[in-house]
Structure 1
Amino acid sequence: MRSAFRRAVSGVRWYVRELMDESAYERHVAHVRRDHPDAAVPNRRDFERMRTDRQEADPRQGFRCC
């Protein structure tokens, strides 16, 4: 019973993180380490700034209100 509850909570946690794109940084770090081992891995703050700048520069993203 307890392990089923833990699996359910883990699944919900994974789903929410994917829905909110919270795991994007971990995916980016894994990509950099795998495909570009000599490149520096940005910290979380720099990654979020690069991501926001890229989204704002893309006209397909639309107007960002906040």
Structure 2
Amino acid sequence: MAAESGAGPARPAGLVAAAVSVWGKVVWYFEGMLGADAYRKYLEHHERTHPGHAPLTERQFWREKMDWEDKNPQGRCC
């Protein structure tokens, strides 16, 4: 019986860790699908290709991205 009580607490912690992992993957998928991760990708690209230069602020990035999309319409849902 002592072995059962020792195994009990590990299960909820394992389930919580699994749920957090799954939730993180769901959030990652939807951010990618909706384009919400675009600024993060821009920062990663900027760091690789333009070291030493300041990147756009997030606000500047989204403004330029929306302006570009308005001037260059492509097939998208909205």
Using structure 2 for the length normalisation, give the TM-score: 0.70
Match of 2:74 in 1: 61
Aligned partner of residue 25 in structure 1, secondary structure: helix
Within a 5 Å distance, the mapping from 1:1-66 to structure 2 comes to 1-58=15-72, 60-61=73-74
Deviations 1:19-41 (A, max 9, x none): 11111000001111111113220
RMSD: 1.7
Percent identity over paired residues = 29
- Structure 2: which 5+ residue stretches go unaligned? 1-14
Secondary structure at 1:61's aligned position in 2? coil
Between the two proteins, the alignment pairs up a number of residues equal to 62
Write out the 4+ residue segments of structure 1 that deviate beyond 2 Å after TM superposition. none
Distance, in Å, in 1 between the alignment partners of 2:31 and 2:56 is 20
Bigger radius of gyration: 2
TM-score (norm 1): 0.81
